[in-house]
């Protein structure tokens, strides 16, 4: 049973939340970071990039210490204030495409992560887990929730809908044209009801944030070992998550781009493809696959449809049935020589929101030789992979909603 509890969030004051909220640091270009740090003294980027104050790059443990210092300064100046009562936070996002996401920010259990109540579908890199655990241990807070999804619950939906009819504590629109709303839920009766509904759920699934959740679990394990009076209820036993129903989750595909044909000529490559796929030249027609095991390919100024030939590929589990895995096992590795899709510099990725025009432009420019378009993975496929204890290839999903840092902060 899932343990999802309220917590006392540290939050910006209402007048500054729109200035503080920031996307993930890695999503900004260097010019965008510079602009926000220069023009907005309240941006959360000042906390995660403390070296700006000294006009120099600072890394490692020194940076972590300065992050903690900047955060404490924001609290001392009462830009951030901690809630007095443990609360759930109803969070609604309406993105610029008109998609709406309604969920709950709460604290989720590291023990549930260990016991597979919180299930994973993606591999993590150990060195990243260790680095982020050191970061968390030094700064003492988490400002970006892990995105979890749960089976649709009419009872939970009714509570959320009722609360969202009242005035939101926060309402702001970002320069990215997404509108965010937050309601603080500290009524004891409602809090008990929400906790009980989550407790009935046997499984939660990580949609986005595998490294954050893994690092939080690693931190909980180490602090537990160091604490002789450990009870299991300390804040470090939990990590902040944004939980949304499965029907709200939006999954886009990640298309693949490859820099060369691994020494093959165009004709040699097409002949090899013909052994595994039924190929049709679509010319200038933008072809996007509409069925599983169908792929689009852009090569030498033309689009192709690739249909997997029956009998040429064996499916023995949920991973084998995944289109990203099929592409890897039939084309990327055997024909194009890409063994490590995570680290090979010859492969690039473009999420489906960029559409196939991005793939075409990247190939036409000469940066890449060939591009492949895929159909997006479904929630059921993602769950099945997790249920079977398997892991998707990297860059298999681009998932929305994308959250902002600094709106709710979890201290431990």
Dihedral sign of CA atoms 319, 323, 329, 332 in order = negative
Using CA atoms, how far apart are residues 355 and 59, in angstroms rounded to an integer?
A: 36
Query: For residues 95 and 136, what is the distance between their CA atoms, to the nearest angstrom?
Result: 29
Q: Which residues contact residue 366 at a Cβ distance below 8 angstroms, ignoring those fewer than 6 apart?
A: none
- The burial class, CB within 10 Å (0-12 / 13-18 / 19+), for 2 is buried
Question: What whole-number distance in Å separates Cα of residue 178 and Cα of residue 174?
Answer: 5
Kindly state whether residues 241 and 259 are assigned to the same domain: no
Q: Is residue 163 domain-shared with residue 187, that is, in the same domain?
A: yes
Alpha carbon 375 to its chain's center: 19
- The rounded distance, in Å, linking the Cα atoms of 206 and 124 is 12
Each of the 412 residues of the chain gets a pLDDT tens digit; together they read 999 999 999 999 999 999 999 998 888 889 999 999 999 999 999 999 998 888 888 888 899 999 999 999 999 999 999 999 999 999 999 998 899 999 999 999 999 999 999 999 987 878 889 999 999 999 999 999 999 999 999 999 999 999 999 999 999 999 889 999 999 999 999 999 999 999 999 999 999 999 999 999 999 999 999 999 999 999 999 999 999 999 999 999 999 999 999 999 999 999 999 999 999 999 999 999 999 999 999 999 999 999 999 889 999 999 999 999 999 999 999 999 999 887 899 999 998 877 789 999 999 999 999 999 999 999 999 999 999 999 998 889 989 998 899 999 999 9
Residue by residue, DSSP assigns 44-55 as THHHH-GGGGGT
- Tell me, yes or no, whether 232 and 135 share the same domain: yes
In a domain, 54, yes or no: yes
Rounding to the nearest 10 degrees, give the CA dihedral for residues 257, 262, 263, 265.
-50
Phi, psi at 392, each rounded to 5°: -70, 155
The domain in which residue 78 lies consists of: 4-250+400-411
Token pair of 243 as six digits: 């939980």
CB 363 within 8 A of CB 298: yes
Distances (CA, A) of 282 to 139, 285, 287, 290, 306: 54, 6, 7, 15, 10
Residue 8: inside a domain: yes
Q: What stretches of 285-378 show up as alpha helix (H) in DSSP?
A: 323-327, 355-364
392 part of a folded domain: no
What local confidence, expressed as pLDDT, does residue 352 receive? 81
Q: DSSP readout, 115-127?
A: TTSEE--B---HH
Count of domains for the chain: 2
The CATH number given to whatever domain includes residue 277 is: 3.30.1760
- The pair of three-digit structure tokens given for residue 287, joined into one six-digit string: 């072809």
- pLDDT at position 51 is 87
Q: Specify whether 245 is located in the same domain as 322.
A: no
The two three-digit tokens of residue 118, written as one number: 């919180």
State how far the Cα of 373 lies from the Cα of 106, in Å rounded to an integer. 36
Whether residues 240 and 352 fall in one domain: no
50 and 133 housed in the same domain: yes
Per the listing, tokens 């060369």 go with 260
Looking at the structure, tell me whether residues 28 and 99 fall in a common domain. Answer: yes
Residue at 389 is within a domain = no
Q: Could you tell me which of 237, 159, 151 has the C-alpha nearest to residue 194?
A: 159
Please check whether residues 159 and 290 belong to one and the same domain.
no
Tell me, yes or no, whether 395 lies in a domain: no
Q: Are both 272 and 368 inside the same structural domain? A: yes
> How many Å apart are CA 97 and CA 403, to the nearest integer?
15
CA distances, 331 to each of 22, 351, 385 (Å): 39, 19, 22
Same domain for 278 and 316, yes or no, is yes
Determine the pLDDT at residue 123: 79
- 223: Cα separation from own chain's centroid: 26
- State residue 126's pLDDT score: 84
Q: What is the DSSP letter of 368?
A: -
State the maximum Cα–Cα separation within the chain, in Å, rounded to a whole number.
69
At 300 the pLDDT is: 97
Whether residue 354 is contained in a domain is answered as yes
Upper half-sphere CA count for residue 353 (Cβ side, 13 Å): 11
Answering whether pTM is above 0.75, one says yes
In a domain, 394, yes or no: no
Do 43 and 176 lie in one domain? The reply is yes
Per-residue pLDDT, 140: 97
Residues 271 and 244 in one domain: no
In a domain, residue 138? The reply is yes
CB of 369 within 8 A of CB of 258? yes
């Amino acid at each position: 049973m899932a343990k999802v509890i309220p917590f006392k969030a540290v939050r910006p004051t209402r007048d500054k939340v729109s200035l503080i909220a920031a996307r993930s640091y890695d999503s900004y270009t260097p010019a965008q970071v510079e602009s926000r740090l220069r023009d907005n003294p309240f941006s959360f980027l000042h906390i995660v990039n403390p070296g700006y104050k000294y006009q120099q790059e600072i890394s490692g443990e020194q940076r972590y210490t300065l992050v903690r210092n900047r955060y404490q300064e924001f609290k001392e100046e009462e830009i951030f204030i901690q809630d007095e009562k443990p609360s759930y936070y109803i969070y609604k996002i309406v993105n610029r495409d008109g998609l709406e996401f309604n969920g709950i920010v709460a604290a989720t259990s590291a023990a549930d992560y260990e016991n597979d109540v919180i299930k994973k579908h993606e591999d993590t890199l150990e060195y990243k887990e260790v680095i982020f655990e050191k970061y968390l241990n030094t700064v003492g807070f988490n400002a970006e929730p892990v995105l979890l999804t749960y089976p649709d619950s009419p009872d939970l939906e009714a509570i959320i809908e009722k609360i969202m009819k009242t005035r939101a504590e926060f309402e702001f629109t970002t320069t990215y044209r997404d509108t965010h709303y937050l309601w603080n839920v500290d009524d004891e009766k409602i809090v008990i009801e929400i906790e009980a509904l989550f407790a009935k759920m046997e499984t939660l699934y990580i949609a986005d944030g595998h490294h954050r959740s893994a690092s939080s679990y690693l931190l909980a394990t180490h602090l537990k070992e160091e604490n002789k009076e450990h009870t299991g209820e300390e804040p470090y036993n939990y990590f902040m998550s944004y939980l949304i129903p499965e029907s709200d989750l939006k999954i886009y595909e990640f298309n693949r781009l490859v820099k060369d044909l691994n020494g093959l000529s165009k004709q040699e490559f097409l002949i090899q493809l013909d052994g595994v796929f039924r190929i049709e030249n679509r010319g200038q027609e933008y072809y996007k696959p509409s069925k599983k095991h169908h792929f689009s390919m852009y090569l030498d100024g033309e689009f192709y449809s690739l249909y997997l030939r029956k009998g040429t590929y064996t499916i023995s589990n949920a991973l084998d049935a995944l289109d990203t895995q099929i592409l890897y096992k039939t084309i990327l590795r055997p024909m194009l020589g890409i063994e490590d899709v995570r680290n090979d510099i010859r492969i690039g990725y473009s999420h489906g929101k960029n559409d196939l025009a991005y793939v075409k432009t990247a190939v036409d420019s000469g940066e890449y030789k060939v591009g492949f378009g895929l159909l997006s993975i479904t929630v059921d496929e993602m769950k099945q992979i997790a249920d079977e204890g398997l892991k998707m290839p990297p860059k298999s999903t681009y998932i929305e909603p994308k959250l902002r840092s600094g709106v709710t902060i979890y201290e431990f």
